[in-house]
Amino acid sequence: MTSPNIKVATDQNFEKEVLANGQLALVDFWATWCAPCRALAPIIDEIADRYAGKIQVFKMDVDSNPETPGKFGIRGIPTVILFKGGKAVDQVVGAVPKDQIENLIRRAV
């Protein structure tokens, strides 16, 4: 992670940091071995910087935190899910262009 605007989500802090925080939260579910995840990482950094103060951006390593991805039915990575009011409201799967992720955000605000 290169952007200081990205937080780390874990199975232990997910409820408090993502679901109960009251702000829009974008979570990138990824793994270190995943090439498409590495391709998406700079886009997630840009989004975190561009929307700093408007949404919170998190990254969750699915290998280190298997419980939360299982709860949300994540079967492929990268998966980016947008949460609003503690609920998953939209998602994209795969190394998608930045405008697709920004569309998620625009639809939710």
Active site residues: 34, 37
Which residue do the tokens 């995943």 mark? 34
Residue 29 near residue 62 (C-beta atoms within 8 A): yes
Q: Which of 80, 97, 99, 76 is nearest to 88 (CA)?
A: 80
Asked whether the beta carbons of 40 and 95 are under 8 A apart, the reply is: yes
Within its chain, how far is the Cα of 12 from the centroid?
16
